Structure 1
């Protein structure tokens, strides 16, 4: 049996689409963008919706309130101190916000701005991380990120250690990742349409109808003058008329249609909440059982944990670059976000019970990795 055929990839993108193979440009397979003919900028416009913005802020705030630590991971203490000093100069809060744009758009390229320090030994350190617009980038048929340039239609590969490419649930078919805002597109569109019709409905039926009675022998000019006066009354709520002209105000007939608009908007908001937060209760407080509330908050915690992994993975890639550029291929410390004590209470209680049995001894490395302790903060008894 020949093993040569086993060592090569048999089925790939180049075999499937000749045109894109020639251009070496893999288009974004997002169905919304393809069907509407729009670019990813259309998703950025969705942030103008108050409920979308509220959900985004709610999702990000679940992570932004957490503190972080640089875990040693058996790396040299000098390297740990070096990384800590660098991270103290960076706007970690804004960097985390930028990283969390990836779930919204599917991917988020972040450019690392480096500078060389002065002194006897020169170091390369990041001075800032800048999130760049997604539409400035694309993926080639091999799934590699490239940035667009007007004079280079095939695009340019960014240099190594320059662009942190944050992707949310990418796969072989879709290196652009899965956009949560894509899932909100039609909900926001239908919601805006419902609000537009609701406003028209309110203008038409929200104001009372002003009825002016004129005598049968009135001329066309007199009738028109009366109509003009009534129109002015609708604006100013003031009218002066002769005693022989009868003016009445009748309430507009109420229709059940108003409840349809409310239900449509409520439904669309619920769909938006589910797309971004995976649940609805934390943004739409209503009467409900305690069990339902606990389920929703557990889902929210799971979303936060997912975002934590995304942020940690991205910043640990940055740490890897820093260490490699300045110290070579050695063990790297890691960036870890620390959950609140209330979130860790069950795990802490379990670990204490295990330790107290005396049958299992949790290692120093376990305490460092689980709770973010540094080696010099743990005193062995």
Structure 2
């Protein structure tokens, strides 16, 4: 706190007509009013909620979520999705206790022991499939180990096998029960969601946006292949004389079709054969069209392009670091969502089975340190501390011109850079000011005060 005098602020007055707080909550405050049953964005409700993904509804054609499997078959889209998942999975994870009590710490140790016994990274990577499709489901197989109940394995299932009821509980769709599906036991299925909005338990994954980019890219490649085919083998044109019979024309056509593989052909006299070469002008190419959609895919998945694509003019290292930071931010976001899922479901179930009442621990993926950036920060702080230290030394040295301790103190605290010092530290500087008189200190730009001028100003104010 600054040692300068401040005017006291008037105390806030209570509102004159403030209502007394209600002791009991009304029933409406404890329930969800805008619920599934009155949601006009849901086409119909029959015990099983439907997807709210317009792309899936309009373009699915009965495939359902399998439509988005085609996105991962695209080399670039699949690689970018894998890159985003690996950006999180490659980080080290740790379990943080939910409280400070010994019971809470035992719960964290138990959860950590469970996860170390499982292929935890593989399980997390499977749950991160929700990034593309909106949700992912993992089934927990429990076992008894002495007095403890622990997860023996977690199997990631195909999302098409599940639906959700109005309480967002998963239901297993079977051939004998597609509507509304089989009811599932509690503490059995872990559901991780991405892009949840409103009353949509299915989430909204990146597939809704990536579908179009991959589709247009695929169509562009199809035209590109057709174009290359025209360049590789030009179209053969055979001009026949008037009056040639249809049968003879068909024979000539079959002969011309063999031109691509044959080194020599025979044609009737009077037949004119020529090659129609494919030609084009301008700078627009199919490659640019495909590269454009690759960039859109990169932006959609990772928010950047420079870590995977370099332009014709090359990349910039500083810009590349900025793009890498964007990827780290997305990994942080994915990690936070996954940590919330694990804490509210799997970690909660382990605690409920074994240590009921203990605080539920959290599982975090730690972002790796940027050693170069931290070294630069430490260097900058050290340089700033040295400048500040030299400035304070210069102030104390000049304060040695005052014999009166109170005047010397007023002079020292008149500089903003001493505001962070405690009263005890200021007293020590005042007492040691004469020891700095002979010190060899370089003039510092922070120190603008002159003891003589300060003393004259102070004397004038007293008069």
TM-score scaled by length of structure 1 = 0.77
Deviations 1:216-266 (A, max 9, x none): 9x9999987776555434115x33779x99999868232148944223212
The answer to whether structure 1 residue 93 and structure 2 residue 121 are counterparts is yes
The answer to whether structure 1 residue 283 and structure 2 residue 308 are counterparts is yes
The alpha carbon displacement at 1:181 in A equals 1.2
The answer to whether structure 1 residue 199 and structure 2 residue 225 are counterparts is yes
Contact 1:208–1:249 (8 Å) recurs in 2: no
Q: Structure 2: which 5+ residue stretches go unaligned?
A: 1-21, 390-419, 422-463
Distance 1:72 1:6 in 2: 32
SS at match of 1:165: strand
The alpha carbon displacement at 1:129 in A equals 1.2
The alpha carbon displacement at 1:291 in A equals 4.8
The answer to whether structure 1 residue 300 and structure 2 residue 327 are counterparts is yes
Distance 2:156 2:219 in 1: 32
Q: Structure 1: which 5+ residue stretches go unaligned?
A: 360-381
Distance 2:181 2:197 in 1: 22
Deviations 1:322-357 (A, max 9, x none): 12201212134432223223279649967xx79x99
1:140-151 alignment, distance < 5 Å: 140-149=165-174, 150-151=176-177
Q: Which residue of 1 aligns with 2:157?
A: 132
1:161-176 alignment, distance < 5 Å: 161-176=187-202
Distance 1:221 1:14 in 2: 71
Instruction: Name the structure, 1 or 2, with higher relative contact order (CA <8 Å, separation 6+).
Output: 1
Q: 2:291 aligns with which of 266, 270, 274?
A: 266
SS at match of 2:350: helix
1:365-380 alignment, distance < 5 Å: none
Cα 1:348–1:170 shift into 2, 3 Å: farther
Q: Which residue of 2 aligns with 1:313?
A: 340
Distance 2:282 2:291 in 1: 14
Cα 1:340–1:245 shift into 2, 3 Å: farther
Distance 1:219 1:18 in 2: 66
C-alpha RMSD of the superposition: 3.9
Distance 2:33 2:220 in 1: 50
**Which segment is superposed worse, 30-39 or 50-59?**
30-39
Distance 1:20 1:246 in 2: 66
SS at match of 1:126: strand
Q: Which residue of 2 aligns with 1:102?
A: 130
Contact 1:230–1:239 (8 Å) recurs in 2: no
Distance 2:241 2:125 in 1: 70
SS at match of 1:13: coil
Contact 1:181–1:276 (8 Å) recurs in 2: no
1:338-349 alignment, distance < 5 Å: 338-342=366-370, 346=374
- How many aligned residue pairs are there? 351
**Which segment is superposed worse, 176-185 or 22-31?**
22-31
SS at match of 2:37: helix
**Which segment is superposed worse, 259-268 or 19-28?**
19-28
Cα 1:223–1:164 shift into 2, 3 Å: closer
Cα 1:52–1:247 shift into 2, 3 Å: same
Distance 2:186 2:293 in 1: 43
SS at match of 1:11: coil
Contact 2:42–2:52 (8 Å) recurs in 1: no
Deviations 1:67-99 (A, max 9, x none): 222334535454444333322221112112112
Q: Which residue of 1 aligns with 2:351?
A: 323
The answer to whether structure 1 residue 180 and structure 2 residue 206 are counterparts is yes
Deviations 1:46-87 (A, max 9, x none): 211111111111112212221222334535454444333322
The answer to whether structure 1 residue 159 and structure 2 residue 185 are counterparts is yes
SS at match of 2:81: helix
Cα 1:302–1:213 shift into 2, 3 Å: same
Cα 1:246–1:326 shift into 2, 3 Å: same
Contact 2:96–2:362 (8 Å) recurs in 1: yes
Distance 2:45 2:338 in 1: 35
Contact 2:306–2:315 (8 Å) recurs in 1: no
Larger Cα-atom Rg: 2
Distance 2:364 2:162 in 1: 29
Cα 1:14–1:290 shift into 2, 3 Å: same
Distance 1:90 1:15 in 2: 42
The alpha carbon displacement at 1:158 in A equals 2.6
